Amino acid sequence: MKAAYQTTLRRRVSIGGVGVHSAAPAQLVLHPAEPDSGVAFLRTGLAGGSERHLKARRANVTHTALCTILGDASGASVSTVEHLLAALSGLQIDNVLIEIDGPETPIMDGSAADFVAAIDQVGCIQQSRPRRYLKIVKPVRVERDGGWAEFLPAERGFRLDVEIDFASPAIGRQSLALALDPGAFRREIARARTFGFVSDVKKLWQAGYALGSSLENSVAIDNDEILNPEGLRYADEFVRHKALDAVGDLSLAGAPIVGAYRTYRPGHKLNALALEALFADRSAYLYVEAAPARPSVRGVGAHVPAAAFAAAE
């Protein structure tokens, strides 16, 4: 499948579970979608049997305190969307309609692994329209609470460089840098689970959050020890999960990014602020379309690489 073309799912697939914050059950149905439709949620199960259509775009982000939440003026919302969006973005799925009957995307095992498995179950198909990319042409940087994030230009592809720094010896300072493509996404970050400190979770419980959190879907840290009997999936699983979150949050740009994203002590809020700063500076980016491979003019069998770009406004 050439990266020059948009993709969607071959057929619909269902997956269910409970939300990590609400503990509310929810059923997801991922549907194939038409070219240029992008990723969107169809929130069902609202009062009076109503439904709301929510595009997975930064303009619809309403909260980023503990997770990323999409919503609209009617009050309809879907929370904890980042892991599912990361799976779609990481596997380069452009057009999907996500039907969901509850307020929160299921946490599953705390990573994107179950969403990847669901996508693999049905497969994806190439569509007729070229893929549209968001190309970074000038550095953009934001800072917040001792952390920072920046977009940098790159000739091709998307590079992710993430560093975290925790006082707890169980985590410490960890960094991860990789060129992101579907293979790297699967190997390096898709299985990295969300994590938290037991002392913080107790406070969240009292505030009505993390009600669905357990050792089945989170890495728990107490007194600088990992409580999960099976241990970690990667020695540096913590920074890999932060990278996973960043992939999901940045997908809200609405198009795959050609460039680099570097961040220190990231979180959902910082990722959102970085996107906000990028789109606030119209000179920092442009849209390009991937040029499909075609025979050369001389007809000797040479082809234009699928990664070639053409300006698209």
Active site residue 268: yes
**Please, which residues bridge with residue 8 across strands?**
95, 125
Catalytic member of 21, 31, 268, 303: 268
Is 303 within any annotated ligand binding site?
Answer: no
Give how far Cα 279 sits from Cα of 80, 126, 275, 285, 297, Å: 23, 29, 6, 8, 38
Q: Any binding-site annotation on 53?
A: no
Strand-pair category, 309-311 with 124-130: unpaired
CA-wise closest residue to 6 among 29, 36, 26, 31: 36
Q: For residue 286, how many C-alpha atoms fall within 13 Å in the half-sphere facing its CB?
A: 13
Helix (H) or strand (E) holding 264, with range, is strand 257-264
Q: What's the CA gap between 220 and 222, in Å, rounded? A: 7
DSSP 3-state of 202: helix
- Measure the CA–CA gap between 184 and 160, rounded to whole angstroms: 11
Nearest to 182 by CA among 96, 100, 86: 86
CA–CA dist 131, 258 (Å, integer) = 12
Residues 6 or more apart whose CB falls under 8 angstroms from that of 234 comprise 191, 192, 240
User: Which 8-state DSSP code applies to residue 186?
Assistant: I
- Give the helix/strand (H/E) hosting 195: strand 195-197
- Binding residue ranges: 83, 241, 245
- Binding residue ranges for Zn(2+): 83, 241, 245
Tell me which residues are annotated as active site.
268
